[in-house]
Structures are given as C-alpha cells and as structure tokens.
Amino acid sequence: MTVIRTASDLGKAIRGARIQAGLSQAELARRAGLSRKFIGELESGKETAELGSALRVSEALGLTLRGPDLTPQAVLEDAADAVRGELSRGDADFALRIALDTFRSLESMAPSVLRKPRSTGDPRWDSLLAAGARIALRNSRAKPRWGSRLAEAWFPADDLGPVTDAYRRLTIRRTPKELADFNIFLNDKSLLSA
C-alpha cells in the first residue's frame, strides 16, 4: 500500500490509477466534471490543488482515502449525539439500542480512558452513558469521574412499555454493578443483545 504524504504522492497515485483504468486525462476530467488542466496539475503534484476537486477525481477513479478508525471517544460522542436526536423524536427504544450498541463497541475497543461526552439533554441518559463508559473501562485503571447517581431508580424498560414487578426484581438481580451504582437497572442480557 502506498502512503500518501504529499501532493506529489497523491498526484502519482492518481496518475497511476488513471493509466491503469485506461483513461486519458481528458476522459478522467469529463468523468469528474473538471478540466483536463486541473487533472494535469493534480497529477504533477500541484500544492494548491483544491481538495474537494481532488476528492472528486479520486472518486471517479474508484480510489478511497482511508482515515484512522474511530477512537473510543468519538464513538461515545457520536452515541451521545444520536441518543439526543432519538429522544427529541420521542424514540426511547432506539435511543436505548444505540446506547447498548455503544457499550458493546466500546468494550470491544478496550479503551484506556474516556472523557465526558456532550449531554444527551436528559440526566438519566447522561448517567446511562457514564455507566456504560465504566463498563467499557472495567479493565482500565482510569475510571470516569463524570456522571451522577440518579436520585430515583430508573428502569429504561419503563420507557418502552409496561413492566411487571417480577421483571423488575429479575432486572435488579441481573443489573451490572456499574449501572446499579448510578441507580439504573438494566438486565445484563440486554447488554449482550439488542
């Protein structure tokens, strides 16, 4: 795999891909909706080539530029934003699915530290994300210092429909310590599949 660090590296990669695809500069320019002159300048490594246009050329050639994988912090931030959006639409069920998927993702990423994400707009859900971060950091020395224990017990399942007393008792017994510490009760089987 070629590492692209300079405009010249990008130009060489684009030129090579164009030739391999059997395209002239004019044909590539037509496919990308740009001028042949731009293609020539891009291939020669012009430092001031417009990024958006260079990306259109890459797309026309079927080239993909990869960035680094998402960091655990980015996953947590995205989850907070997505939960906020679902709550604003009144979809607590999907918000819970997002949170649970996030916990599984974070746990598999084995982060060593997580910082407080943006608020979901609801203290219960903020605490749920904090508890999930603690679950993900079980094997780390760094424990999040953010998040607040809820004054009243919260069963997220209550937001999804009627819950029996038997189910509440089972949920209390099956709730991981990290969630119970926040006064949140969620069956540990929910953390395995959602």
Looking at residue 85, its amino acid is G
Percent of the chain having pLDDT more than 70?
A: 96
Per-state percent for the chain, helix, strand, coil, to nearest 5: 60, 0, 40
Note whether 47 and 80 are same-domain residues.
no
Question: What range does the domain containing 110 cover?
Answer: 72-192
Note whether 112 and 153 are same-domain residues.
yes
Does residue 145 fall inside a structural domain? yes
For residue 95, name the pLDDT band (cuts at 50, 70, 90): very high
Note whether 48 and 133 are same-domain residues.
no
194: nearest Cα among 128, 123, 102: 102
Number of domains, the chain = 2
Mean predicted confidence (pLDDT) in 49-73: 87
Question: Tens digits of per-residue pLDDT, 14-28?
Answer: 999 999 899 999 999
What the block records as the tokens of 121 is: 């707009």
Question: Tens digits of per-residue pLDDT, 124-164?
Answer: 999 999 999 999 888 888 878 889 999 999 999 888 888 89
Q: How much is the pLDDT for 2?
A: 67
Note whether 46 and 127 are same-domain residues.
no
Does residue 66 fall inside a structural domain? no
105: nearest Cα among 143, 78, 68, 87: 78
114: nearest Cα among 77, 59, 158, 69: 77
Note whether 34 and 94 are same-domain residues.
no
Note whether 137 and 174 are same-domain residues.
yes
The answer on pLDDT for 67 being more than 80 is: no
Note whether 110 and 142 are same-domain residues.
yes
Note whether 44 and 108 are same-domain residues.
no
Does residue 107 fall inside a structural domain? yes
Note whether 109 and 142 are same-domain residues.
yes
* DSSP H stretches of helix in 21-111: 25-32, 36-43, 51-60, 72-88, 92-109
Q: CB-based contacts of 84: which residues, under 8 Å, 6+ apart?
A: 118, 119, 120, 121
What the block records as the tokens of 131 is: 């508890």
Percent of the chain having pLDDT more than 90?
A: 66
Rounded to the nearest integer, the mean pLDDT of the chain is: 90
Note whether 78 and 52 are same-domain residues.
no
- Pairwise CA distance, residues 84 & 120, whole Å: 4
Q: How much is the pLDDT for 191?
A: 63
